Amino acid sequence: METLWSPWRSKYIGTFKDEQEKSKEECFLCVAASAVKPDNETYVVARRRHCFAVLNLYPYNNGHTLIAPYRHIGDFTELTQEELSDMFALMQECVAALKKIYEPHGFNLGANLGRTSGAGLPDHLHFHIVPRWSGDTSFISTISDTKVVSIGIEETYNDLSKILNQK
Ligand SMILES: [Zn+2]
């Protein structure tokens, strides 16, 4: 067994709160949520009461979108009923819009909870919406963001935000 002696640990616990604050400041979802930059620079395609949708800048496929609560939380069990229903409603809207624009053969919807599961940003939970076409690769590489495709993100932003904001 590894030694359990860990003099750094008390220091780590002592700085935990600061680390949380730091992770929030460096969080791209919080930057997008805060609207300090215009939505067309952070690629926020829709805002709802408790959540928002933003394009993934390192997409697996064209139209890869993230749905996140405004709150910087990583624990799925801490989402309120309002956040849950708002997020799922927006997810449904995005799927409908993406269907209209890209006519994909299918979708992957899902979240990575915790870094072990593959979450690149474990402190601010988010759901992935990934349009799929027959012939593209497996689900695992989909939601762990390992494949990078170059797409016309401006075009995707314009198409998607137009449909999602036409009320
Ligand atoms: Zn955040």
The whole-number average pLDDT for the span 8-26 is 59
Q: How far is the CA of 1 from the centre of ligand 1 (A)?
A: 36
Flag whether 12 is in a domain.
Answer: yes
Q: How far is the CA of 7 from the centre of ligand 1 (A)?
A: 30
Flag whether 134 is in a domain.
Answer: yes
The whole-number average pLDDT for the span 80-98 is 98
Flag whether 115 is in a domain.
Answer: yes
For 77-143, the DSSP string reads GG--HHHHHHHHHHHHHHHHHHHHHH--SEEEEE---SGGGT-SSTTS--EEEEEE-TTS--HHHHH
pLDDT of residue 17: 56
pLDDT of residue 119: 84
**Exposed, middle or buried, 95 (CB in 10 Å: 0-12/13-18/19+)?**
middle
Supply φ then ψ for residue 128, to 5 degrees: -95, 140
The CATH number of residue 142's host domain is 3.30.428.10
Model confidence at 12: pLDDT above 60: no
What is the distance, to the nearest Å, from the Cα of residue 56 to the centroid of all Cα atoms in its chain? 7
Flag whether 30 is in a domain.
Answer: yes
Model confidence at 9: pLDDT above 60: no
Flag whether 3 is in a domain.
Answer: no
Q: How far is the CA of 37 from the centre of ligand 1 (A)?
A: 15
Flag whether 71 is in a domain.
Answer: yes
- Choosing from 50, 72, 126, 128, the catalytic residue is 126
Q: Is 126 a catalytic residue?
A: yes
Q: How far is the CA of 123 from the centre of ligand 1 (A)?
A: 7
State which residues form the domain around 54: 8-164
6 vs 53: CA distance, rounded Å: 41
Q: How many beta carbons lie within 10 A of that of residue 128, not counting itself?
A: 22
Flag whether 28 is in a domain.
Answer: yes
pLDDT category of residue 1 using cuts at 50, 70 and 90:
very low
97 vs 142: CA distance, rounded Å: 20
Number of domains in the chain: 1
Model confidence at 137: pLDDT above 50: yes
Flag whether 27 is in a domain.
Answer: yes
Residue type (1 letter), 31: V
Q: How far is the CA of 137 from the centre of ligand 1 (A)?
A: 29
Interval 34-58: pLDDT, tens: 999 999 999 999 999 999 999 998 8
